[in-house]
Amino acid sequence: MSSAFLTVVLAILWAGITNNFSGLNLLFGALIGGMAIVMLRYSIRQRGSLRKAAKVLALTALFFRELMASALRVAYVVLHPNLKAVVKPAIVAVPLTVKSDAEITLLANMITLTPGTLSIDVSKDRSVLYVHALSMEDDKALIADIANGFEARIKEVFN
């Protein structure tokens, strides 16, 4: 996404949020959006394209599906009459293959909002993510789940 396109999107978003589509307000939105982009220019990578939008959409769809699944899973655990039988917490070290800060942040956020897992800490050399699992049966399955699910999708989006 070029920064000019991003500025236009942010200007329209601003006009929508303030509910005022007059020319002056659009200009003001573009000004604020442009300032934000100038401030963030080092963290926004300039190699996106519209083809990537499909992958972003797929990731978003996967995320919302997993979010609903995780809420239902928590509901099942919380309402279970015998709590000790279903809650088997564990803290597992999950090796990371994504490297950049943005990717790790996105992955950690998504892990927190998906079924049964919560990210606690990242090791200093950024190679291991420590994940708390609400009820873990099999550590290999948990690690494989994260690596094949979100991590693979995030890599597709960023590369």
Task: Determine which residue in the list 2, 22, 97, 109 makes contact with other proteins, applying CB under 8 A.
Answer: 109
131 φ, ψ (degrees, to nearest 5): -120, 135
d(CA 44, CA 2): 10
Please report whether residue 118 would count as binding other proteins according to CB under 8 A: yes
Is residue 9 part of the contact set for other proteins (CB under 8 A)? no
Contact call for residue 95 and other proteins (CB under 8 A):
no
121 binds other proteins (CB under 8 A): yes
From CA 101, how far away is CA 80, in angstroms rounded?
38
Q: Shortest Cβ distance from residue 92 to other proteins (Å)?
A: 6
| Stretch in the footprint of other proteins (CB under 8 A) among 30-38, 43-51, 96-104, 106-114 | 106-114
Terminal Cα distance for the chain, rounded: 14
Select from 37, 77, 143, 147 the one that contacts other proteins (CB under 8 A). Answer: 77
Extract the tokens encoding 153: 């999708």
Minimum distance, C-beta of residue 4 to other proteins, in the bound complex (Å): 22
Instruction: Measure the CA–CA gap between 111 and 98, rounded to whole angstroms.
Output: 14
Rounded-to-integer distance, Cα 138 and Cα 111, Å: 17
* Strands of the chain, DSSP E: 90-95, 117-122, 128-133
Binding status of residue 32 toward other proteins by CB under 8 A = no
Interface residues with other proteins (CB under 8 A)? 13, 16-20, 67-68, 70-71, 74-75, 77-79, 83-84, 87-93, 108-110, 112-113, 116, 118-121, 123, 128, 130, 132, 134, 136, 139
